[in-house]
Amino acid sequence: MRTETRNLTVAVTAVIGLIGAIGANVFSAVIDPAWSKKNIWPLGIGVFVFVVGAAMWLHWWRSGARVVKARAVAAVDTGDGIMEVVVATRSGAVLTAGYADNGTWSKWTDLRADRMSWDVTAVVPTSDVVEYYAVDTDGAVAMARRDRGKLSAWHAVLQPPPSERIIRISAASWTPKQRELFGITDTGRSLHTWKWDGQPWADWHDAGLPACIDVAGCSPKNDVLEHFAVDRDGTVWQRWWYVDQGWVRWNNWGRPGSPAKCVASFRKAADFQEMFVVGKSGDLGHRWYSGHEGWSGWARMDTPPAGLDDVAAGTTSANNLCCVGLDKNGDLWLRTWSGEWTEWRTIPSQC
């Protein structure tokens, strides 16, 4: 919960405490006028201090939102040793928490999305700025922007194409002040659009791959974009874009295990990236890329006990990779790599 929200809440609670103190005095005056007259100030001050004290304890000592059950998860490297994890909960809220290079978590913060959110993503288009995107149940895309710690209100930025709804989104930025948004519609179309600072969003462009169910985007280095998609048969597809050269044709990557259902990708360092795929059986596979060696083959990874339903990935530094798993119960898990992968561990639902 942000500082200004805490201050407002405590101020409102103080007013309630004052009203409560007055009410307590009025009530005691009806019961015993003499006692009330004698103890009017101690009683009023006592009620006031109790209410305000309770509010301060709740908002300072127990501040932070709580992830009850998550529906979708995304992650973004903010560039300051922090990976930010963003979730859409099953109740439609959008929450975020930061994971630091030293292994500590910040408190979960409710970003207070205006509409019930179905999917989320985030991107850093320039230093000290994070943009959060959420798809509501009508398929429209809204955005909130955190600029040097100050969060804007949510506002609609993209409407779905006629007679369709956007159901899945992913974002990337291939150069400062630019952001690319990839989407999947309820009809299975794969789309993308883009925006530069100070300019409006481009129209949705058809990416040319039908019958899709999930999407991911990544920029492994400046002037390059990678676009990943999963089709309804559970096959993973990949294509890339070079500045001034356009998009290449889609490549069929098959699948690492059971038919794929969701995909995520992130940039570790210049010209290095990694992508993860969750199968319909809850299994997890991944591939990685370096400019010197190209793409690896598929490798399988262990999963949490309940299996996975969604996956996100990011980094806190060039030597610290993070894989965030959302299991089938709606709980969040983390494993990290700094030479080898750690075991899965739960992410606190209230940090």
Full pLDDT tens readout for the chain, 351 residues: 333 334 444 455 545 545 554 554 554 555 556 655 555 556 556 545 555 555 554 444 344 678 779 999 999 999 889 999 999 999 999 999 999 999 999 999 999 999 999 999 999 999 999 999 999 999 999 999 999 999 999 999 999 999 999 999 999 999 999 999 999 999 999 999 999 999 999 999 999 999 999 999 999 999 999 999 999 999 999 999 999 899 999 999 999 999 999 999 999 877 889 999 999 999 999 999 998 899 999 999 999 999 999 999 999 988 899 999 999 999 999 999 999 999 999 999 886
Q: Please indicate, yes or no, whether residues 216 and 304 belong to a single structural domain of this protein.
A: yes
What pLDDT is stored for residue 62 in this prediction? 40
d(CA 315, CA 220): 13
Token pair, residue 50, equals 């109790």
Q: What is the dihedral of CA 252, 256, 257, 260, to 10 degrees?
A: -50
Q: Which domain holds residue 37?
A: 3-61
Q: Please indicate, yes or no, whether residues 148 and 255 belong to a single structural domain of this protein.
A: yes
In a domain, 107, yes or no: yes
Alpha-carbon torsion (314, 87, 227, 306), positive or negative:
positive
Q: Please indicate, yes or no, whether residues 107 and 177 belong to a single structural domain of this protein.
A: yes
In a domain, 351, yes or no: no
pTM over 0.85: no
What pLDDT is stored for residue 61 in this prediction? 39
What pLDDT is stored for residue 34 in this prediction? 65
- Show which of 24, 42, 61 is a domain's final residue: 61
d(CA 51, CA 15): 10
Radius of gyration of the chain (CA): 24
Beta-bridge mates of residue 183: 169, 191
In this structure, the chain runs to a length of 351
3-state DSSP assignment of residue 264: strand
When divided into structural domains, the chain yields a total of 2
